Amino acid sequence: MSNVRAEPRAGGCIIRSVVYDADRIGRRVAELGREITVAYPDGELVLIGLLKGSFIFLADLVRAIARPVQVDFLVASSYGSGTVSSGEVRLLYEPAAALTGKHILLIEDIIDSGRTLGALRDRLRSRAPLSLAICALLDKRIAPPIPEVRFVGFQAPPLFLVGYGLDHAEELRHLPYIAELG
Tens digit of each residue's pLDDT (9 = 90 or more) over 123-153: 899 999 999 999 999 999 887 888 899 999 9
Contact 74, 95 (CB under 8 A): yes
- What is the β-pairing status of strands 70-77 and 90-93? antiparallel
Contact 167, 178 (CB under 8 A): no
Residue 49 confidence class, pLDDT cut points 50, 70, 90: very high
Residue 113 confidence class, pLDDT cut points 50, 70, 90: confident
Average pLDDT, the chain: 87
Domain spans of the chain, in order of start: 29-79+86-156
Q: pTM of the predicted model, to two decimals?
A: 0.86
Q: Which residues contact 107 (CB under 8 A, 6 or more apart)?
A: 47, 48, 49, 50, 54, 57, 58, 61, 134, 135, 136
- pLDDT score at 30: 98
Q: Does the pLDDT at position 4 exceed 70?
A: no
Mean pLDDT confidence for 24-38: 98
Q: Is the four-CA dihedral 30, 10, 48, 147 of positive or negative sign?
A: positive
Q: Does the pLDDT at position 90 exceed 90?
A: no
Q: Does domain 29-79+86-156 have CATH number 1.20.5.50?
A: no
* Selection from 3, 93, 82 nearest residue 52 by Cα: 93
Q: Does the pLDDT at position 85 exceed 80?
A: no
CA distance 85 to 113: 8
Kindly list the catalytic residues: 112
CA distance 49 to 103: 14
* Selection from 71, 65, 64 nearest residue 27 by Cα: 64
- pLDDT score at 14: 83
- pLDDT score at 3: 43
Helix (H, G, I), strand (E, B) or coil at 114: coil
- The residue with greater pLDDT, 77 or 153, is 153
